[in-house]
Copies of this chain bind each other. A is one copy, B any other.
Amino acid sequence: MTEKGMGDTLLTIGEMCAEFGVTPRTLRFYEAKELIIPRRVGTRRLYTRRCRARLKLILQGKRFGFSLEEIRQLLNLYDIGDQQKTQFSRTYALGLERLRAMEAQRSELDAAITELRQQLAWGEQILEREDLQRASA
């Protein structure tokens, strides 16, 4: 059940960086913060499919304005599908919180977008008028 060495395409740190557009420093930093834990062959890091999924979530989280620590909490939630551990319901509750937060953020974002659209519409009108004035001058 726990996938063995299948078509698992392990990536080196350089390959990871190329794929996600980050620096090695960033990956090592995330590792130090226990956000991504790659396998080791000797001292060399090897990133699994899971690592890639995690990094994707991390970068996504950052774009939403979450801190790395908050993202770490979120990642634990996504782990549940793979490794069901103890403290399940606690993590579950945490996930619910996050969901609420994200839904709240979305509605805020929607409102902000609407406002911005209106401002831009406002702007368009003024631009058109200025164009007319210049055309008639």
- The CA of A43 and the CA of B93, in the complex, are separated in Å by 49
The residue in chain B whose Cβ has the minimal distance to the Cβ of A81 is: B122
Q: Are B117 and A99 in contact (CB under 8 A)?
A: yes
Q: Which residues of B contact A119 (CB under 8 A)?
A: 77-78, 80-81, 95
- Chain A binding site: helix, strand, loop or mixed by DSSP? helix
Interface residues of A in 79-129 (CB under 8 A from B): 80-81, 84, 88-89, 91-92, 95-96, 98-99, 102-103, 105-106, 108-110, 112-113, 116-117, 119-120, 122-124, 126-127
> How extensive is the interface on chain A, given as a class?
35 or more
State the number of copies, please. 2
With an 8 A cutoff between CB atoms, is A134 at the interface?
A: no
The residue in chain B whose Cβ has the minimal distance to the Cβ of A62 is: B65
Q: Are A126 and B64 in contact (CB under 8 A)?
A: no
